[in-house]
Structure 1
């Protein structure tokens, strides 16, 4: 009999980096992630995201978050996918880390994005989880380049990227909230500039995900 991992291999992906784990977002983990989002991600007067999804009213925020992740599962294909993982600290969900890619078997690049709940911020966890994720992408999933971006008024996110080894590219002018201009700093990471963590990560389930994103199994 087939399992859910057979149908959607990212469910079986697991990355262990000390007390941190990154796991495929099953429905149980989506529920926990919704609770973290409802508890707060940033100050109400600030907006770190391109799309201001985190300002939805209580209750609606959870429904929107779940619907987003369900939707990304249903459209996952090698030519256009978002690989989203839950981030856990000592077994407790604290946020999410993902990468979006198009035409991946050819381009071998994708853009990372992440968030963690406010109560877990300022403890170096954002840097640790990004390092673990980028190591997964480079060493296990065939990525040759990773991009990211952050608003110039978001020094915490830019600081994480700098510590991991991303290099700045272009600054673009984009609309953030209604009528609001924001300057967005592009970033790029390669295996040569990547600053790894002190200890190696443990990865399970990567071979099936490689096949799922259009690569031969390792």
Structure 2
């Protein structure tokens, strides 16, 4: 069985309303459709790489290719797990957790997105809490880091609700304009 060779396919994180796991090929297509339908106001870019600026079919294909790329490049030294988020059996978004040299740093990073129709329902907080529990309880992480641009108030609010503290800023050029990234950090003790 595949799970015998790649145990991540058997990983399931559950919360009162959500299930986070790797998608089947058909569910990956559903996730791609959610992204193609829109995940943010097109006038504002919440991502460092403006991958959602492409036509819907290219956004969908990019979601699929990125998923396969991350799974195919998995190593204990550098990994990124893109979990599909399901609510009542429906794919609503993606929650990512990853690390570089985790055995030494004990630090994970997180990122996520939700389809626009699923936003504003505290799903983002619940799905982030699920991977933080995996990180701190399951993997023995010492800290988790995340970031959001100044204009992404909802992402920043999720981090603050979960206990992250500010950890500096970084300036980026996104779409040829200045975007200020607010870095955030959560320690095991604060979790």
TM-score higher than 0.5:
yes
Deviations 1:7-37 (A, max 9, x none): 3221111011112111123323211110110
Deviations 1:65-97 (A, max 9, x none): 100110111110011110111111011110000
- Relative to 1, partners in 2 of residues 1:143 and 1:181: Cα closer, same or farther, differing over 3 Å? same
> 1:6 offset after TM fit, Å?
2.1
Residue 70 of structure 1 is matched in structure 2 by 68
> 1:60 offset after TM fit, Å?
1.1
1:189 aligns with 2:186: yes
1:80 aligns with 2:78: yes
Residue 40 of structure 2 is matched in structure 1 by 42
Point out where structure 1 has 5 or more consecutive residues left out of the alignment: 195-218
Residue 103 of structure 2 is matched in structure 1 by 105
Q: Does the CA contact (< 8 Å) of 1:87 and 1:96 recur in 2?
A: yes
Q: How far apart in 1 are the matches of 2:25 and 2:80?
A: 16
SS at match of 1:10: helix
Q: Does the CA contact (< 8 Å) of 1:150 and 1:186 recur in 2?
A: yes
* TM-score, length basis structure 1: 0.85
> 1:58 offset after TM fit, Å?
1.7
Q: How far apart in 2 are the matches of 1:168 and 1:26?
A: 37
> 1:109 offset after TM fit, Å?
0.7
Q: How far apart in 1 are the matches of 2:112 and 2:106?
A: 20
Residue 153 of structure 2 is matched in structure 1 by 155
1:180 aligns with 2:177: yes
The CA RMSD over aligned residues, in Å, is 1.1
> 1:122 offset after TM fit, Å?
0.6
Deviations 1:147-183 (A, max 9, x none): 0000011111000000011110111111112x21110
SS at match of 2:56: coil
Which of 114, 122, 135 is matched with 1:137 structurally?
A: 135
Point out where structure 2 has 5 or more consecutive residues left out of the alignment: none
- Relative to 1, partners in 2 of residues 1:74 and 1:126: Cα closer, same or farther, differing over 3 Å? same
Q: How far apart in 2 are the matches of 1:15 and 1:102?
A: 22
- Relative to 1, partners in 2 of residues 1:28 and 1:144: Cα closer, same or farther, differing over 3 Å? farther
> 1:136 offset after TM fit, Å?
1.4
Q: Does the CA contact (< 8 Å) of 1:25 and 1:84 recur in 2?
A: no
* TM-score, length basis structure 2: 0.96
Which of 116, 119, 124 is matched with 2:117 structurally?
A: 119
